[in-house]
Amino acid sequence: MVNGRPSDEHVQEWIDAARLVDYNTRANQDFRSAVTKTRTAPAPVVRNPGTPAFRALPAPPPRPVAAAPSAPTAPASHSLPPGVPMDIDLSRQRSGTPIICHRCKKPGHIARNCPEQFDIRSMTTEERDDWVMGLLADLDAVRAAASAEAQAEDPAAAEEEKSEGPEEGF
């Protein structure tokens, strides 16, 4: 490849540059036509020994032009009756499922906007112990309420369940 412009005093540099440009141009044409495979075989170039090497060659025969591919027709759109506006944001509508917070598992907000700004990772050991004890107390309260409801519905069955439970003796 020639770097820069050849010197005006050296004719051979200009000839070499012209040959390189010609070679690159033909290589590009061959590369582009290899994809379509519609090119016919070129006629052999016959040179007379007396003609200079940088003489222009005859133009290649014109290539056949392929017909433009026809685009598939779009399906007919459903037209609305006159006076009914289009609902442009129909595809953007939210589904019927509500947003659920990943922190408290309650609907209506996301974790970033959760009203219960609680993060166990920022608690001290004592705070975590108090929190766990509160959860266990809530669990005991729920179990006691369920047991009271069961006893109110069927007192005999509730007494049998109490008697079948394991004895707690320490």
Taking the mean position of all CA atoms in its chain, how far away is CA 116? 34
Task: Report the pLDDT value the prediction gives residue 2, as an integer from 0 to 100.
Answer: 47
Cα 16 from Cα 12, distance rounded (Å):
6
Residue 136 vs residue 78, higher pLDDT: 136
* Alpha carbon separation from 144 to 127, 147, 149, 154 (Å, rounded): 26, 5, 9, 15
Secondary element (H or E) of residue 110? none
pLDDT (tens digit per residue) in 10-67: 899 989 999 999 999 999 988 888 776 655 666 676 666 665 556 666 677 777 766 6
Helix (H, G, I), strand (E, B) or coil at 46: coil
Name the pTM for this structure.
Answer: 0.27
Query: What is the model's pLDDT at position 4?
Result: 77
Q: How far apart are CA 76 and CA 151, in angstroms?
A: 68
The CA distance from 77 to 75, in Å, is 6
Reported in sequence order, the residue ranges of 6-138 that DSSP labels E, i.e. its strands, are none
Q: For 126-155, give one letter per residue: b (16+ CB within 10 A) or e.
A: eeeeeeeeeeeeeeeeeeeeeeeeeeeeee
More confident residue, 122 or 73: 122
91 alpha carbon, distance to own chain's centre: 19
Q: Residues near 161 by Cβ (< 8 Å), separated by ≥ 6? A: 150
- Over residues 121-164, the pLDDT tens digits come to 778 889 889 989 999 999 999 999 998 888 888 766 656 666 66
pLDDT attached to residue 120: 72
pLDDT of residue 27: 92
